Structure 1
């Protein structure tokens, strides 16, 4: 019987097999257009950066072009579908599942999936504050989706809206388990959103080294004020800009009123027409994440404080006074 504590003979067949497995390089990232009937795309970004706005308009635009689209909100705030449904809250899978379980009933598709103008949408939801793990809620939600036949649904696109600030396991599920073909990051010309985008690229690269197949298709720059930091970031990590949505008051006002701005033929329709095309055709690529210093280097020094010097603190600083006498443990013997 093999014991995990027992040393392995370097000349044994087991040792040779383990060395052979360790020497196998990860499969190269797919750089051609995805061939699966359904493209499953995970969208990540900092909280409040505009993922829900982008996805609601993107999914609506795709549906108006004749695509069958499923939008799944994977954010505990459960606000991905609010713009799509004119501000109305969508019953979440987590809360619906809990209620059905208490009543002894099974969850049906019509209990958790709703549609508008050709877009199908649902929210995974999450636990109340302090009452559970958001990541575990995501995992439970996908387990239920599989029971409902998720892998048999005939969609052209499944768009997953993930919060990028959170790094626990459930939120990295699509990347870690190859549940999507590609990732899109939403960012802006600010350090915090690009920090999150860089973290997502790091996660993709980490799981690529472990044999994963997910790549980054590109970046959507939201609230673009023209300063260029997001574009510089995308170029540095080696991903394309799929769309740049301007910081325009018309967009802000209409979004605040839960209006779709990505309708084909409307003022902003061409922008989302192009985004829809780019999202569908952009191949997943392997990014090159930046170091913290390289990320800071995208911004002007006065904006991020690169001139700040780290001054070490002293023990006296911590105690609040300078006359602190530290007793010695040295034993002194008197001589006779």
Structure 2
């Protein structure tokens, strides 16, 4: 799918492009976004990367495994000390990329979505709307459906969304859900669209390509299932540097992200999504067999007469 120059100009009409990236946990969205932000900065763009995933994968990868203080934990610590949070407390730099992490609670100790909302409220107090960046890139977990993680879509906090998926049902299920959310909020008057899809860990089987074509979004980049990429990513190394063999791929991704307009996707039904895969891969031949009360109790159940009183119509 090609992008016209008119579409490209419309996508770049705002001075700052705010782009949210969504994907299933572990699919490589943080890897994609860390390398994309690094590439854009190397091209002379002013880039702010905001990690909105409680695992803090994005900034950890950008900073070579170093965890930076999160906005949520810093805010709580400063509040106890009676101090104000400053930019220097929560924002850090590497090779032209500015980055911060919203953070989130430990398991069972709070709502991650609420933490996202609190984090953005604090960013607004720090002057988020007045910052002068070419790009603000937001890393969101796509397989969490509570309102906080859908904030960029539901509140028009970004112009466009990028989805990351692969040739497997679970990641495409998440991508389809994100497309469905965009579709839903556009019907309510929202303006966010899907700029396209990054296919990560591509094994050449083609399901993700077919999915993108059916929902009506372009493929912005295809990153192969490659052992070198896997090893470098696992050891928190950026693979998109100028001297890397993967630099051309990420340069092209950066160009596509910059020019891609926000599209209006048409999410697939569950049956249509399953139809992308061979039957033996997803178990479509399975028949739903209704359970009985005897199954539940593990013994024969005697049906007892009802004591309900039924009155004849007058």
User: Under TM normalisation by the shorter chain, which class is it?
Assistant: over 0.9
Work out the CA distance in 2 between the residues paired with 1:31 and 1:68.
Answer: 19
Which residue of 213, 220, 223 corresponds with 1:242?
220
- Is 1:144 aligned to 2:144, yes or no? no
For the aligned residue pairs, the C-alpha RMSD in angstroms reads 1.5
1:211 corresponds in structure 2 to: 189
- TM-score between the two structures when normalised by the length of structure 2: 0.94
Distance 1:99 1:311 in 2: 54
Deviation digits for residues 279-322 of structure 1, max 9, x if unmatched? 01000010000000000000000000011111111122112123
Note if 1:306 corresponds to 2:284.
yes
Structure 1 residue corresponding to 2:143, chosen from 150, 156, 165: 165
- Deviation per CA, 1:44-69: give whole Å up to 9, x if none: 00001101110111000110010110
TM-score, normalised on structure 1? 0.88
Of 296, 301, 304 in structure 2, the residue corresponding to residue 318 of structure 1 is 296
In structure 1, what is the Cα distance between the partners aligned to 2:161 and 2:242? 25
| Aligned counterpart, 1:55 | 33
Q: Which runs of 5+ in 1 are unaligned?
A: 1-28, 332-336
Q: Name the SS for the 1:82 alignment partner.
A: helix
CA contact (8 A) 2:8 2:260 kept: no
Q: Give how far 1:265 is off.
A: 3.8
Aligned to 1:285: 263
Deviation at 1:31, TM superposition (A): 9.0
Superposition deviation, residue 184 in structure 1: 0.4
Q: Which runs of 5+ in 2 are unaligned?
A: 1-6, 309-314
Matched, 1:102 2:72: no
Confirm or deny: 8 A CA contact 2:159 2:193 kept in the other structure: yes
Structure 1, residues 172-221: CA drift from partner, whole Å, max 9, x if none?
Answer: 00000000000000001100000000000000000000000000000000
Looking at structure 1, the residues matched to 103 and 90 of structure 2 have their Cα atoms a distance apart, in angstroms, of 11
CA radius of gyration, larger in: 1
- Pairing 1:275–2:253 present: yes
Q: Which residue of 2 aligns with 1:177?
A: 155
Residue 328 (str. 1) matches residue 305 (str. 2): yes
Write out the 4+ residue segments of structure 1 that deviate beyond 4 Å after TM superposition: none
Q: What is the deviation of 1:30? A: 10
Q: For residues 306 and 147 of structure 2, what CA distance do their matches in structure 1 show?
A: 48
Equivalent residue, structure 2, for 1:86? 64
* Alpha-carbon offset, residue 259 of structure 1: 1.1
Determine if the alignment matches structure 1 residue 231 to structure 2 residue 239: no
